[in-house]
Structure 1
Amino acid sequence: MNDSTTARRRRLGQGLVLLLALGGAMPLAAQTWPARPVTLVVGTPPGGSVDVYARALGDQLARQTGGTFIVENRAGANGNLSAEQVRKAAPDGHTLWISTQAMFTINPSAYPALRWQQSDFKAIAKGVESPLVLVVHPSVPVQQLGELGPWLKANPDKATYASFSPGTPSHFLGFQFAERLKVPMVHIPYKGSAPQITDLLGGQVLLGFTQLQAALPHLQTGKLKALAVTSPQRSRFLPQVPTLAEMGHGDLNTTVWFGLMAPAATPPAVIDALMAATVKAQADPGLKGKLEAQGFDVPTESGAAFDKTITTETARWAQVVKATGFKAND
């Protein structure tokens, strides 16, 4: 073996050692995601609609990827605590945020001292969406939306409306609708859909915009009456109930949604893997059927399309928040 051959082999060996060393330090973007358990942080208590969606999604992603997905509930400040937790986490695809329309598109305008920004996150995919439904207690003697304004004007002492939380579409739609009817109405906020529905059923408050999933069983038994839904088209879950648009209030249309967010600094390759896995999961007939059985629609909106929705809705709610003068506390 001559000296040149020995030198070439030495250089080759050194190159292999260098490649192995670099391989050990390669970023997650070049590795397989998930590389360890993934935490889905939910900004609401266990058992609610957001929690149910997160657990269903996590189960499906685990089946697809072979990874472990854990749901962690970090309730408080209308989701802001959960946002802060994920913002501070390592941007490697292993700590993700299950956000909602209110948290992501309304909180930036409603909280003056917010400790996170939309730009801190990358929107992955819209998970589920649903219209709100305007319901009244059966004691309210109206059968259609057009009769509600005159009745409220004749009964000003009963002109209150319930929301499932301040600073949400349920709150702001009630405010806008009262303006539209030219009826001063008192806002009665609740801490969640369950207590809102409880008081609507009991007649403590006689009307309000509620989550369709929470209201549906009571509408089916006649314990509440539905006057309108807020989606552009009638809901397949309430096909007999007209839309606000049909009643001339199309500018009040809205659907509420839950979606998956990752820290903005997450490597593009991991974002791509996350997006592909989530879109595939939500197309799974088992997951889709489970969510639809609860009254949700399962969209196919991700990436740039989801970003566009967020931009449009953020601008809309900023105007409404400004008009109401609403300011949330931390």
Structure 2
Amino acid sequence: MNRSRHRQMRAIALACTALFTLAPTAGAQSVEYPTKPLRFIVGFAPGGGTDITARVVGDALSKRLNQSVIVDNRPSAGGVLARRLAAETNPDGYTLLMLSGSQTAGAVLVYKEPIDMRKTFAGISRLTSQPYLLTNHPNFPAKNIKEIVSYAKANPGKMNYGSTGVGSMAHLASALFEHIAKVKMVHVPYKGASPGLLDLLRGQIQFLFASATSSMPHVHAGRLRLVAQSSGERSPQLPDVPTVAEGGLPGFDVTGWYGIAAPTGTPQAIIQKLNREIGEVLKDAAVKKKMAADGADMRHSTPDQFRALVEEEGQKWINLVKSAGLKLK
């Protein structure tokens, strides 16, 4: 019995030794992420709001994670290419997708590819909330909403407006503008805000709804005139800029946002870690200052809250387009 008991005690001792030897390794695996650079896929050209937000947040996140964050621009109409690419990547937490209200609306309304936050993507966090800014060239004669409407009515079908693609939030905002104002204008879609802003600066188009992060540098430099903001209420960051509704189109309300998602199947431990770290990034004074200067408010959320936002936004625009009879082309 003594020899048998000795063997049992030795076996238990060896098992305990193995357990405590392996435990640090298992624990280390949960905190080792990331061990290589992360990639943020952006569906629009460099210099646009999605791109700028990705770079500001990515730079701050890289410092917290001690890994580089590479912004990978894959511009295409409505950001379709970026969504498809991100959905097909290995769900290991190293390839993430920048999402915006534009992509959500366009995916549902134009490309018939709803962003499925249950089957295709896992939400990580919302990043910002901001109005779109209606800007035009300083030499353009119409300086406010009423004057733009009057000009469009006097020149039916001769006034061009740009957007970041068919079905983008900028396109929806402009189509809603046409509907409420009862005017006829020509839509010129671009693969992102930057090429649209370049044509606006050249006078090729007459106005453009774009994110504050894209527009404000040109406004500050005096290259563009800031006419109005798209949200129903004035942004705290732009208290002196009237809304489109205040300018003469009551009921006009379009608010933009940016967020970040991962391919479905990404481990929850990674999702939660990224959510926590992004939450800290959005509290960073330098990040808040950079984004606030361009009209954006930081809006951290839980993964579930972000998923709900994407789903609600898609349905909201489906309902609005149907009820208003908006034509997207």
The one-letter amino acid of 1:93's match is G
1:207-228, Cα deviation, whole Å (9 max, x unpaired): 2323333333444455443332
The number of residues matched between the two structures is 324
Change (3 A) 1:249 1:15: farther
Q: What TM-score comes out, normalization by structure 2 length?
A: 0.83
Q: What TM-score comes out, normalization by structure 1 length?
A: 0.83
Identify the residue that residue 195 of structure 2 maps to in structure 1: 195
Identify the residue that residue 319 of structure 1 maps to in structure 2: 319
Q: Shift of the alpha carbon at 1:276?
A: 0.7
Identify the residue that residue 31 of structure 2 maps to in structure 1: 32
Structure 1 CA distance for aligned equivalents of residues 27 and 252 of structure 2: 46
Structure 1 window deviating more from structure 2 (205-214 vs 10-19): it is: 10-19
Identify the residue that residue 117 of structure 1 maps to in structure 2: 116
Q: Shift of the alpha carbon at 1:271?
A: 1.9
Identify the residue that residue 308 of structure 1 maps to in structure 2: 308
Change (3 A) 1:194 1:97: closer
Identify the residue that residue 130 of structure 1 maps to in structure 2: 130
Structure 2 CA distance for aligned equivalents of residues 145 and 172 of structure 1: 17
Return 5+ residue gaps in structure 2 as ranges.
none
Structure 2 counterpart SS, 1:51: helix
Q: Give identity over the alignment, percent.
A: 30
1:100 lines up with 2:77 in the alignment? no
1:4 lines up with 2:24 in the alignment? no
Structure 1 window deviating more from structure 2 (114-123 vs 89-98): it is: 114-123
Structure 2 CA distance for aligned equivalents of residues 67 and 46 of structure 1: 22
Change (3 A) 1:217 1:67: closer
Identify the residue that residue 166 of structure 2 maps to in structure 1: 166
The one-letter amino acid of 1:284's match is D
Structure 2 CA distance for aligned equivalents of residues 200 and 102 of structure 1: 20
Q: 2:228 touches 2:241 (CA, 8 Å); kept in 1? A: yes
The one-letter amino acid of 1:4's match is R
Identify the residue that residue 62 of structure 1 maps to in structure 2: 62
Which structure 2 residues correspond to residues 170-319 of structure 1 after superposition, within 5 A?
Answer: 170-220=170-220, 223-236=223-236, 238-247=238-247, 249=249, 251-319=251-319
The one-letter amino acid of 1:253's match is D
Q: 1:102 touches 1:168 (CA, 8 Å); kept in 2? A: yes
1:273-297, Cα deviation, whole Å (9 max, x unpaired): 1111110111111222233334433
1:251-307, Cα deviation, whole Å (9 max, x unpaired): 432222221112232232222211111101111112222333344332233434333
Q: Shift of the alpha carbon at 1:18?
A: 7.2
The one-letter amino acid of 1:118's match is M
Q: CA RMSD in A?
A: 3.1
Structure 1 window deviating more from structure 2 (292-301 vs 267-276): it is: 292-301
The one-letter amino acid of 1:296's match is A
1:154 lines up with 2:154 in the alignment? yes
Q: Shift of the alpha carbon at 1:189?
A: 1.7
Structure 1 counterpart SS, 2:132: strand
Structure 1 CA distance for aligned equivalents of residues 183 and 80 of structure 2: 33
Return 5+ residue gaps in structure 1 as ranges.
none
Change (3 A) 1:290 1:116: closer
Change (3 A) 1:117 1:325: farther
1:161-220, Cα deviation, whole Å (9 max, x unpaired): 222322211111111111111122221222322232233233332223233333334444
Change (3 A) 1:141 1:85: closer
Structure 1 CA distance for aligned equivalents of residues 6 and 234 of structure 2: 78
Q: 1:57 touches 1:287 (CA, 8 Å); kept in 2? A: yes
Change (3 A) 1:89 1:219: closer
